[in-house]
Structure 1
Amino acid sequence: MAQSAARRSGSAVRMPPERRKQQLLDSAQALVIRSGYANATMQAVAREAGVTRPVVYEFYSDRAELLRDLLERETQKAFALVLGMAPDPDRDEDLGAILRSTLARFLSLVVSEPQTSRLLLLSPSGAPAEVRAGVEATRAVVFAAVQSYLEPLTTLPGSAESDTELLALTFLAGSESAARLVLKDPEQFPPERISAVVSWFISQFDLGRRQ
């Protein structure tokens, strides 16, 4: 009984401020992933974290500030994912081989950071306007990075006259679809299975082109 009263008062567990702040962000992230941005209210975050609403207001003035902080935290992780999938254009491989290995690395990183990946793949519908703008800005930065990675690859064998903008859009769309499959059911859709199908598809394309 005393433990339940302590939980309701928000003092069930005494935490240092930074740890408490991260707990609130983790709770907001879980809510957004499970129920969407619209349901990540201050009261819902407090309930998810097992504290009272005043505890949440000690750290954030409103849900927009909380969600902005969450997005900023996860964006830093997302940039690490993008840096990790950067291809090496100096390797003695053709464009198809580099795209295959880049996708495989990306999906492995998605598996290593599933919550970050789930959050950034979500539609920002229901989020405050400034948070939606932040999501779009993050995606724009990711797209620019991927396009810059692909630019040097257009000089490799098999690349022909590649349109890097369209190539980046296509690669990102395919990568996001693959990531959703991996996150939904990693046992049925492991990164290795998806990479194998991509390898087969590219090999068939190369075979048809040689004929």
Structure 2
Amino acid sequence: MSTDFRTRPIDDRGNLVAHEGALDPRATVNFAGRHNRLVVDGTTRLDKVTIRFRGDDAQVVIGALEPGDHLSLDLTVGAGATIEIGAGVTSEKTLTVVAAPGAHVRIGAGSHLGTNVGIVADDSRGLGPVSGERRHDVTIGERVWIMRGAEIRAGAAIGDGAVLELTPIVDDAVPAGQLVRGLPATPVRAVAWDRESLAASR
């Protein structure tokens, strides 16, 4: 993953795209503010991607993909927010992520997101814990499989290797290595999966 931000800014507001090649013409990146950074692994081709930076000092980091892997993104990034997408993260359709100002979204390496999966890292409705602290962050561990129709909300922390099936809303901790179903998200049993499972599920 490139962490070299010495690349020349692309505009007079200090916004930066750190990528070895040019972005595909089908990729759309809009900078509304200043000093935002898009960092893309040099081997990753971005085509079906829309990114909107809505304020200042935000960052999106996208890891490497293997040839033939699919990752389609629609990202909205608030001021000071960070979205980190690890190497080998794939999606069946377009993954939508909304990160509120100051939010941190992390999707661990090797994870797979199904059809109509969305991430909303925004607790502006004040639905955090009783203590009154607002929760903006979303953490998805490595090699997590989230099946279709799930909304991952602020406060979610999904452990490595978890599989979410028939889980419409997740806004709390999910244990690692568990098959999880229902509302609220409930661990069913220990589980392991591999990429061949994805093809079999379609």
Q: TM-score range by the shorter chain?
A: under 0.3
Normalising by structure 2, we get a TM-score of: 0.26
Looking at secondary structure, tell me which structure has more helix per residue: 1
Work out which structure has the larger RCO, using CA pairs closer than 8 Å and 6 or more positions apart in sequence.
1
Normalising by structure 1, we get a TM-score of: 0.25
